[in-house]
Structure formats: C-alpha cells, structure tokens
Amino acid sequence: MNDSSFRDLRTSVGADPGDVTITFPCAYPIKVVGDAAQDFAATVAQIVQRHDPEFDATDMQVIDSRNGRFQSVRLTLTATGEDQLKALFEELKATGRVHMVV
C-alpha cells in the first residue's frame, strides 16, 4: 500500500487546495475502507476516539463488500481543524489495515 491510494476528498481533483473552505468545528463524515475482520470497525472507532473524544461509535455503519473481502466503516466525527484530520488520516493509514479514507 502506498500514500497515493489515500486521496484527500476535501479538495476536488484539479482544484486549487486554497479554494476549499471548511469552517471548524464541524460534523465531518468519512468512510474508511479496509480488509474485512471482526475487529476492523472497533479498531477504526478506537482511533477516531483518540482524535475526537466525543465521538459516538454507536452511529457508525459497517458495510461488507459483495464478496466479503472488504469492509467500509462510515462515521461522522467533530472536526476541529486540519491538523486533527491529518493526524487521524495518518494514524488510520499506519495500521496497515486501511486501504482508503474517503
């Protein structure tokens, strides 16, 4: 897995990153895709809670892929700034279990 598999969708393809404005704090939805495992959603929840202590994991949606090989975890966290989101994405990638954060 390489960093190019993680696309930051806060900016549109071809758009100047300076054109995107997010007002913090805000509700920030993300989808985390990784290899299916019984503890994948729990691992994602633990990481998100480190970056957003008020995160409520009961609102997460876990969806299995058609063949059961992958899982996507959809959640909404309270984003407080760019540094928080960058650190969250980096920690998710560092697990080696996450293929994509959208």
Query: Residue 55 has which token pair?
Result: 């995160």
Nearest one of 45, 59, 53, 43 to 80, comparing CA atoms? 53
Token pair belonging to 81: 């700034």
- DSSP structural state of residue 6: -
CATH number at residue 76: 3.30.70.260
Taking only the tens place, the pLDDT of each residue in 35-84 is: 999 999 999 999 999 999 999 999 999 999 999 999 999 999 999 999 99
Q: Structurally, how many domains does the chain consist of? A: 1
Helix (H, G, I), strand (E, B) or coil at 45: helix
85 is written with which tokens? Answer: 């989101």
The range of the structural domain enclosing residue 34 comes to 3-101
Question: Is pTM, for the whole model, over 0.85?
Answer: no
* Percent above pLDDT 90 for the chain: 78
